[in-house]
């Protein structure tokens, strides 16, 4: 009898103290468990699905390893001087060394694109890339902004002569990453652009500063051609790079995500535009991420080439990655070099962070 009482007392004590503890901590523990902190940055496994490694040097990958980041390096055909074979060779050699850290997208040449034989040659190149391990293809803004036909007319991405290439990518179950058009800022004078990164880029690359080239297809025409291409290929797995060149307005992005269920958007080098919108309407940007949490993919557009200072580049990339993390996981007040106003972090729940940093990359780039 005495023994039973003793046990009952201990049991009762454990029950009461346990309950009290749980009750006291419940609210706080629960709230914290739903969100990551700044300190979780290197603990959480992440992807960057838009980077450009143009060198055999591996310090860039080692930095990604430290940041707990896996990379998709993207080959780009940017014109006759861009050696896509060499870019592919670099990607393959790096993947051999870091098979778990790196994957790549191939690109195709547009040289002689309207000559007989181009199509067969291009399909053979892509087939070979896929056999080598490319998990998709990048198509670039030179379609729509540089490429012309024999009459001097610009060739847009919905041109029927490009269809067989896109059909082949779709049939091969690979992802097409499309950087088509430019940020809307490109059609504005430098002093009216919303963010400094665009202002600097277009000051340095006047050939793409569309405000200076009114004879080129307009912003709306670029977007419309891309949309028509998507309309023709409803089964293509398409990732619209740089927020689909609709970076200036989350409503415009949302419209496309609603209309084309087979597309996702990467945020490469356009996160500042989301921050810019968060200055005026934080709630809207936050809710946009909640609603489209399965369709948005973290990426940076970070890259290194032979001219880069690798140490400086790594420092810069690390800083950017931490700052982006801070914007997505905390609600701290932030400011940066992109524009003068300050804004607050979005403090997205863990499950949304896991999607934009990891799950969506795997879903939209199978094999990554």
Q: Would you tell me which residues interact with Zn ion (CB under 5 A)?
A: 301
Strands 333-334 and 343-344: antiparallel
Q: How far is the CB of 176 from Zn ion (least distance, A)?
A: 14
Q: Which residues share a beta bridge with 139?
A: 178
Q: State the CB neighbour count (10 A cutoff) for residue 38.
A: 12
Q: Which is nearer to Zn ion, 72 or 223 (CB)?
A: 72
The answer to whether 209 touches 169, Cβ cutoff 8 Å, is: no
Q: How far is the CB of 258 from Zn ion (least distance, A)?
A: 26
Q: Which is nearer to Zn ion, 58 or 299 (CB)?
A: 299
The answer to whether 303 touches 71, Cβ cutoff 8 Å, is: no
Q: Which is nearer to Zn ion, 210 or 267 (CB)?
A: 267
Q: Which is nearer to Zn ion, 170 or 301 (CB)?
A: 301
Scored b (16 or more CB within 10 A) or e, 66-94 reads ebebbbbbbbbbeeeebebeebbebbeeb
**Three-class HEC string of 32-56:** HHCCCCHHHCCCCCEEEEEEEECCC
Q: How far is the CB of 269 from Zn ion (least distance, A)?
A: 7
User: 240: buried, middle or exposed (CB in 10 Å: 19+, 13-18, 0-12)?
Assistant: buried
Q: How far is the CB of 285 from Zn ion (least distance, A)?
A: 23
User: Which residue's CB comes closest to Zn ion?
Assistant: 301
Sign, Cα dihedral of 223, 256, 194, 273 = negative
Coil, strand, or helix at residue 322? Answer: helix
Distance CA 86, CA 77 (A): 11
Scored b (16 or more CB within 10 A) or e, 134-156 reads bbbbbbbbbbbbbbeeeeeebbb
Q: How far is the CB of 254 from Zn ion (least distance, A)?
A: 23
Q: Which is nearer to Zn ion, 46 or 141 (CB)?
A: 141
Distance CA 152, CA 102 (A): 40
Smallest Cα–Cα separation from 97: which of 66, 58, 133? 58
Q: Which is nearer to Zn ion, 247 or 301 (CB)?
A: 301
Helix, strand, coil abundance in the chain, percent, nearest 5: 55, 10, 35
Q: Which is nearer to Zn ion, 198 or 301 (CB)?
A: 301
Q: Which is nearer to Zn ion, 145 or 352 (CB)?
A: 145
Q: How far is the CB of 205 from Zn ion (least distance, A)?
A: 13
Q: Which is nearer to Zn ion, 21 or 78 (CB)?
A: 78
Q: Which runs of consecutive H residues, i.e. helices, occur in 250-349?
A: 250-259, 271-280, 282-291, 310-329
Q: How far is the CB of 303 from Zn ion (least distance, A)?
A: 7
Task: Report residue 102 as tokens.
Answer: 């790196």
Q: How far is the CB of 299 from Zn ion (least distance, A)?
A: 9
Q: How far is the CB of 286 from Zn ion (least distance, A)?
A: 26
């Amino acid at each position: 009898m005495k023994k039973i009482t003793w046990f009952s007392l201990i049991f009762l004590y454990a029950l009461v103290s346990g309950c009290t503890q749980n009750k006291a901590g419940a609210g706080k523990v629960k709230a914290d468990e739903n969100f990551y902190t700044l300190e979780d940055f290197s603990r959480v496994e992440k992807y960057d699905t838009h980077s450009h490694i143009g060198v055999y040097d591996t310090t860039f990958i080692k930095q990604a390893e430290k940041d707990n980041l896996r990379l998709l390096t993207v080959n780009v055909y940017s014109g006759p001087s861009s050696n896509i074979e060499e870019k592919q060779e670099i990607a393959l050699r790096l993947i051999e060394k870091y098979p778990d850290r790196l994957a790549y997208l191939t690109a195709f040449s547009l040289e002689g694109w309207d000559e007989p034989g181009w199509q067969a040659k291009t399909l053979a190149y892509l087939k070979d890339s896929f056999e080598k391990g490319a998990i998709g293809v990048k198509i670039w803004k030179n379609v729509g902004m540089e490429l012309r036909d024999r009459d001097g007319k610009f060739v847009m991405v919905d041109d029927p002569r490009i269809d067989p290439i896109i059909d082949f990518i779709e049939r091969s179950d690979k992802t097409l990453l499309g950087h088509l058009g430019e940020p809307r800022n490109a059609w504005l004078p430098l002093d009216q652009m919303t963010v400094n990164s665009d202002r600097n880029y277009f000051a340095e690359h006047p050939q793409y500063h569309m405000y200076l080239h009114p004879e080129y297809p307009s912003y709306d025409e670029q977007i419309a051609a891309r949309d028509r291409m998507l309309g023709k290929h409803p089964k293509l797995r398409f990732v619209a790079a740089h927020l689909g060149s609709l970076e200036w307005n989350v409503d415009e992005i949302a419209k496309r995500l609603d209309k084309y269920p087979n597309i996702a958007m990467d945020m490469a080098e356009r996160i500042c535009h989301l921050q810019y919108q968060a200055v005026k309407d934080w709630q809207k940007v936050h809710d946009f991420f909640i609603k489209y949490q399965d369709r948005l993919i973290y990426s940076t557009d970070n890259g290194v080439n032979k001219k880069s200072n690798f140490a400086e580049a790594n420092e810069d990339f690390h800083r950017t990655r931490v700052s982006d993390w801070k914007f997505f996981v905390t609600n701290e007040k932030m400011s940066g070099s992109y524009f003068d106003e300050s804004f607050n972090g979005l403090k997205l729940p863990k499950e949304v962070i896991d999607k934009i940093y990891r799950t969506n990359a795997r879903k939209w780039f199978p094999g990554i």
